[in-house]
Structure 1
Amino acid sequence: MKIAVLGTGGGGRAHAARLAELGHQVAVGTRDPETTLARTEPDVMGNPPFKQWLADHPDITLATFGDAAASAELVINGIDGHNAVQALGAIADQLAGKVLIDYAVPYLYNPTTEHPWPTPWGVMPRLDPVDTDSLGEQIQRALPDTSVVKAFVTQEQDTVVDPARVAGGDHTTLIAGNDADAKQSVTHLLKSYGWHDILDLGTLHAARGMEMYAHLHSAIGFALGGPFGVKIQR
Structure 2
Amino acid sequence: MKIAVLGTGGGARCHIAKLLELGHEVVVGTRDPRATLSRTEPDMMGTPPFGRFLAEHPAADLRTFGDAAAASDGLVISGIDGHSAVNALSAIADRLAGKTLIDYAVPFIYQHEPEHPWPTPWGIMPKLEPVDTDSLGEQIQRALPRTKVVKSFVTQEQSTVVNPASVGDGEHTMFVAGDHMDAKQQAIDLLKSYGWTDILDLGQLVCARGMEMYAHMHSAIGFGLGQQFGGHFGIKVVR
> Which of the five TM-score ranges fits, normalised by the shorter chain?
over 0.9
Large movers: runs of 4+ above 3 Å: none
Shift of the alpha carbon at 1:57? 0.3
Contact 1:3 / 1:24 at 8 angstroms: preserved in 2?
yes
Structure 2: which amino acid aligns with 1:4? A
Structure 2: which amino acid aligns with 1:96? A
Q: Check if 1:86 corresponds to 2:50.
A: no
What RMSD in Å do the two structures reach over aligned CA positions? 0.6
- After TM superposition, the structure 1 = structure 2 runs for residues 106-121 of structure 1, keeping only pairs within 5 Å, are 106-121=107-122
Structure 1: which amino acid aligns with 2:160? T
Structure 2: which amino acid aligns with 1:16? I
Structure 1: which amino acid aligns with 2:236? K
Residue in 2 aligned with 1:146? 147
In the aligned structure 2, how far is the partner of 1:227 from the partner of 1:111?
27
Give me the TM-score of the superposition, normalised by structure 1.
0.99
Shift of the alpha carbon at 1:110? 2.4
Residue in 2 aligned with 1:215? 216
- After TM superposition, the structure 1 = structure 2 runs for residues 182-197 of structure 1, keeping only pairs within 5 Å, are 182-197=183-198
- Cα-to-partner distance string for 1:156-203 (whole Å, 9 max, x where unaligned): 000000000000000000000000011011100000000000000000
Give me the TM-score of the superposition, normalised by structure 2.
0.97
SS at match of 2:130: coil
Structure 2: which amino acid aligns with 1:64? T
- After TM superposition, the structure 1 = structure 2 runs for residues 54-203 of structure 1, keeping only pairs within 5 Å, are 54-73=54-73, 74-203=75-204
SS at match of 1:183: helix
Seq. identity, %: 71
- Cα-to-partner distance string for 1:137-174 (whole Å, 9 max, x where unaligned): 00000000000000000000000000000000000000
- Cα-to-partner distance string for 1:87-132 (whole Å, 9 max, x where unaligned): 0000000000000000001000021110111111111111000000
Contact 1:110 / 1:124 at 8 angstroms: preserved in 2?
no
Number of aligned residue pairs: give it. Answer: 234
Contact 1:85 / 1:142 at 8 angstroms: preserved in 2?
yes
Structure 1 alignment gaps of length 5 or more: none
- Cα-to-partner distance string for 1:46-73 (whole Å, 9 max, x where unaligned): 1111001100001111110000000002
In the aligned structure 1, how far is the partner of 2:204 from the partner of 2:4?
24
Structure 2 alignment gaps of length 5 or more: none
Structure 2: which amino acid aligns with 1:63? R
In the aligned structure 1, how far is the partner of 2:10 from the partner of 2:159?
8
In the aligned structure 1, how far is the partner of 2:7 from the partner of 2:45?
13
Residue in 2 aligned with 1:228? 233
